[in-house]
Amino acid sequence: MNKIQKLGLTVLLSTVFAYGHGDVVPQPVDTKGLKPLGKEWLETNPYVGNKKAIEIGKHGYEENCARCHGLEVVSGGIAPDLRYLDTGADGDEWFMERIRGGAVRNGNVYMPPFEGILSQEAMWAIRSFIVSKHTEE
């Protein structure tokens, strides 16, 4: 292998590791412009249909969720397709359970918890974006 080939292989491998591995740093979401929600966890989405929330949620989703759940909420198959999530109160509850606590079983992290990383405002903004992409089967 010559120098150029070696360099190419190194670049290729580091790209594979950067994108192929689950440990991507979670990104905080700027929720300026949204009504602050305080410390109590709400049971239902306070931003239903709020355009600003959907826009902020889109960025939050792209930076924190899309690598597993797919761009534009269309899953490539490694994680559930969130377009089919219930859009009502039951869906709100299930969404918050998962986004806050993640999905961790027997020490395996299928989905990382986002509590303490994303604000409640950011979580509901992401929920609003996901609901805006809802699809019936």
Exposure of 62 by Cβ count < 10 A (0-12 exposed, 13-18 middle, 19+ buried)?
middle
Minimum distance, C-beta of residue 26 to ligand HEC, in the bound complex (Å):
8
Question: How many Cβ atoms are within 10 Å of 103's Cβ, its own excluded?
Answer: 14
- 67 near 78, Cβ under 8 Å? no
Of the two residues 7 and 43, which places its CB atom closer to ligand HEC in the complex? 43
Minimum distance, C-beta of residue 81 to ligand HEC, in the bound complex (Å):
8
Q: Which positions from 6 to 45 touch ligand HEC by CB under 6 A, shown as an x/- string?
A: ----------------x-----------------------
Neighbouring-strand partners of residue 118: 115
**Letter for the amino acid at 67?**
R
Minimum distance, C-beta of residue 104 to ligand HEC, in the bound complex (Å):
9
95 binding ligand HEC? (CB under 6 A)? yes
Main-chain dihedrals φ then ψ at residue 35, nearest 5 degrees: -60, 125
For ligand HEC, which stretch binds (CB under 6 A), given 8-16, 30-38, 48-56, 66-74?
66-74
CA gap 117, 114 in Å, rounded? 5
- State the residues that interact with ligand HEC by CB under 6 A: 22, 64-65, 67-69, 79-80, 82, 85, 95, 98-99, 103, 110-112, 114, 126
